[in-house]
Amino acid sequence: MTSTLRFALGAMSLLSLGGCGYFDSREAHRAQIAMIGMTSNDLQACAGIPNSTKTLNDTTQIYQYVGTMNLPSASDSTIIPVQQLLNMTQVTLGGAGTTCKAIIRLDHDRVSEVHYAGDDDEIIGSDGICSIITRGCARQPEASMRKVNGGPFGPVSAFHSPAAPNQSTSATYNKQSGETVPNYTDPNRPVIVPRP
């Protein structure tokens, strides 16, 4: 085999692996928009039971999901050193992530924020590993999910999380309940109505 053919085969295999990271990242970032407003029942129906939960107050909970992906390994042959090419690419470009923590905030039993943490980047894009947590919701959307249009190249990026919704920093003190309630100015945020 000529060196040009070896290089072409190696480049094609690396590009195909990187392409997977691109689409995984877009799927994870799309979920950060689509899941806003979901009920906790719908969230658990598509993403499963959270690994841990924390109740912050009477109306706010944090669900944490942890997903782990094994890194693929390829056996090297004498013709094409695939594993060596993969190792060099991951060292040079990064993207050898294996674990994602999805931290999901629920206000009044509805998802209000979705954040990702951990070593969760693939070769191309960011947070790609996190798509293993949100994949069930993306493939079979629940009734309380938002519809996110835009085709394969919009409105989300594979390289950064969507912008946080605009919200005011002001709050109102409720004299009857003795609570301070934030005043959200973004019409896309879920409406938070106190339970009687």
What residues form DSSP beta bridges with 1? none
SS3 143: coil
As given in the structure block, the two tokens for residue 178 are 């003795």
Share of the chain above pLDDT 70, in %: 56
- Residue in the structure block whose two tokens are 């992530």: 97
Biggest CA pair distance of the chain: 80
Dist CA 77 CA 80 (whole Å) = 6
As given in the structure block, the two tokens for residue 121 are 């980047």
End-to-end CA, the chain: 75
Read off the pTM: 0.66
**192 residue type, one letter:** I
Which of the two residues, 48 and 10, has the higher pLDDT score? Answer: 48
Dist CA 104 CA 91 (whole Å) = 31
**Continuous H helices in the chain:** 3-34, 40-47, 82-93, 131-139
Q: Which of 14, 22, 46, 33 is nearest to 128 (CA)?
A: 22
Judged against a pLDDT cut of 80, whether residue 24 lies above it is answered with yes
Task: List the Cα angle 18/22/24 in 5-degree steps.
Answer: 110
Dist CA 167 CA 182 (whole Å) = 9
Sequence-separated (6 or more) residues with CB below 8 Å from residue 12: none
Dist CA 96 CA 119 (whole Å) = 8
Q: How far is CA 11 from CA 1, 4, 5, 121, in A?
A: 15, 10, 10, 20
As given in the structure block, the two tokens for residue 169 are 């920093």
Which of the two residues, 171 and 38, has the higher pLDDT score? Answer: 38
**Would you state the pLDDT for residue 73?**
60
Q: Which of the four pLDDT bands, split at 50, 70 and 90, describes residue 115?
A: very high
Q: What is the mean pLDDT of residues 147-175?
A: 60
How much is the mean pLDDT over the chain? 74
Q: Which of the four pLDDT bands, split at 50, 70 and 90, describes residue 107?
A: very high
